Structure 1
Amino acid sequence: MTVTNRVSHFPASGASKSRKITKSHPYAAVAAVTVGALAVTALVNRHLAKKAEHDNPPAGKFLEVNGVHLHYVERGSGEPLVLLHGNGSMIQDFESSGLIDLAAKNYRVIVFDRPGFGHSDRPRNVVWTPDAQAELIRRALDRLGVSHAIVLGHSWGASVAVALALRFPELVSGLVLASGYYYPTLRPDVVALSAPAVPLVGNVLGHTLSPVISRLMWPLMMAEIFGPRSMPNKFGRFPKEMALRPSQIRASAAESALMIPDAFHFRDQYADLKMPVVIIAGEEDRLIDIDQSARLHSDVSQSTFHRVPRTGHMIHQTAPDQVMSAINEVAGAPLTNLQSEPD
């Protein structure tokens, strides 16, 4: 009996204390579980990113330009043609579309992974506006011995192409602008897409939840950018897992955040473009209204504008022949013959 009394008065064990703490501080327990889950998610995302890079090694070469490890692919010979991909994309977008092979028959095609995409890095000491990227591309082309080039930009890449032409008109002999965003509009979706670029909170999101959410949303995103058509089978060669790496998600978010401010910056400068300009867009683009392209055509007097029926945002994927025709048009048409009404 005495022994029993002594045992009953022993201090509570460590497990008992933990249970008491859990009951007293339920939020601390939830926080601990949440942090643990996020840490595991971050490790899984890091593993998937490393695997994606291993499974999709660089297809081209590298240049060190202004501290940027810049990946590019070069193919064909003839007049230089530079291809600049859109937000969230990379060289494989143009590769899978077939546009590189089409163009390489007659042009020296140079395709860059823009900073933060594909195998190009994106130093954080620079705000990668279209102007900043234009300067980088100009220096890279100089290193490659290119003094004049036709430049094609798709979507966000069109903003970089415009910046390149405005800042270095002697370099850009002609512009092809495909599915671009040129004038500021109300875009609530941009706020959500920009979240992973927010300091601190964005870093956590980008390494944990954003890749998971992006995987879940991938079919809807494909329907949005390819609609009204279905995603073509050839796009299956696009390395989805490369696009879902935390580093690329952050780069994409940063460009989403810059989209509207950049449109404000450029909206009164388009008339300063003096080189041949061909504008091409899908009539049923669900991401960027075709009115953007129509308005640009009215502001650039020497431009031509081609509407592609039954086509959405990914015009180079679903209508590569029409895009190739636009390239040939800007390459061959004299400046005075480039004025026309929309097709």
Structure 2
Amino acid sequence: MTSTLDVGDARLAYTDAGSGRPIVWLHGSGPGASGMSNFGGNLPAFEDYRNIVIDLPGWGQSPRPETEEPLIFHAAERVCRAMTALGIERAHLVGNSYGGAVAMRIAMRYPERVDRLVLMAPGGVLPADAPPWPIGLERLFAYMAAANPSREAMAEFVRLMVFDESLATEALIDERYESSLRAHPELPIPPNFGDLTPDLGLISASTLLVWGQEDQTVPLTWAPRILEGIPNAVLRVLPNCRHWVQYERAHEFNRIVREFLQGGTPAVPKG
């Protein structure tokens, strides 16, 4: 069940499920994205945790307040306020794409609030030669820029998110399309997400990077800059998988993440 939370200058929609040590789940920025659309299928595997699944400002059921601040920075502050309001001093953070960038920003600014950090193809750190953009980001920005985006444009976007296109079901496309029309973002294209590159070394939390080998949105070639920048990071690459790792490879993703959150190291550390 979705609830809403006042965080001062904004209201955030969120789902609070399970009990135990808290995990805050932070979704990506794709059209039609929301916390539960990204992670609802994963929560049963984490029912022994307290799962806080947030709709970031401007997505899902969370309205976007007026701000000139980079979106990653703005969202990170509101997530921290939400944690405080919910009585959570410290939590594991799990974020994909844009949500991974928000999680990194929190870990940089408020290290005392972060236990372990799981990042699936996170944004916020671009290679020196971007743009041009990968095709997944091209489609994402084109959809955001369209005055009246079509269902077929959504279908093309969703198919790019998965290696096995049979997972891009008609029901999933309909769900994302309808959600996108309710909360179509009014943003400059490309949006001002903000640059986290200079502060990667501030992340002290143990960090797991999970990447789809065939990701066409935040490609695997972008991973080394993050892996080398975060002092205590490991990388797990899943073959035959694109951007939606938690959806396309849910069983393996759940196992890897649970092992990591319980103190394991499921990949070989750099160095």
User: Does 2:180 correspond to 1:240?
Assistant: no
Stretch deviating more after TM superposition (127-136 or 80-89): 127-136
User: Does 2:64 correspond to 1:122?
Assistant: yes
Q: In the aligned structure 2, how far is the partner of 1:239 from the partner of 1:196?
A: 12
Flag the 1:339–1:284 CA change in 2: closer, same or farther, 3 A: closer
Deviation at 1:341, TM superposition (A): 4.5
Deviation at 1:143, TM superposition (A): 0.6
1:74 alignment partner in structure 2: 16
1:100 alignment partner in structure 2: 43
Deviation at 1:127, TM superposition (A): 3.0
Letter in 1 for 2:122: G
Deviation at 1:126, TM superposition (A): 4.7
Deviation at 1:164, TM superposition (A): 0.6
Flag the 1:284–1:298 CA change in 2: closer, same or farther, 3 A: same
User: Does 2:52 correspond to 1:110?
Assistant: yes
Q: In the aligned structure 1, how far is the partner of 2:189 from the partner of 2:82?
A: 21
2:212 alignment partner in structure 1: 282
Deviation at 1:92, TM superposition (A): 3.0
- Select which of 91, 99, 116 maps to 1:174: 116
Contact conserved, 1:153 with 1:160, CA < 8 A, in 2? yes
Q: In the aligned structure 1, how far is the partner of 2:192 from the partner of 2:179?
A: 22
Q: In the aligned structure 2, how far is the partner of 1:339 from the partner of 1:95?
A: 23
1:258 alignment partner in structure 2: 192
Deviation at 1:223, TM superposition (A): 1.6
Structure 1, residues 50-88: CA drift from partner, whole Å, max 9, x if none?
xxxxxxxxx411111122121100100111000000003
Mark the runs of 5 or more structure 1 residues left unpaired by the alignment.
1-58, 198-205
What TM-score, normalized to structure 2?
A: 0.86
Contact conserved, 2:233 with 2:269, CA < 8 A, in 1? no
Mark the runs of 5 or more structure 2 residues left unpaired by the alignment.
none
Letter in 2 for 1:267: T
Letter in 1 for 2:153: M
User: Does 2:160 correspond to 1:224?
Assistant: yes
Deviation at 1:339, TM superposition (A): 7.3
Deviation at 1:240, TM superposition (A): 2.4
Contact conserved, 2:39 with 2:246, CA < 8 A, in 1? no
SS at match of 1:78: coil
Q: In the aligned structure 1, how far is the partner of 2:173 from the partner of 2:267?
A: 38
Flag the 1:316–1:235 CA change in 2: closer, same or farther, 3 A: farther
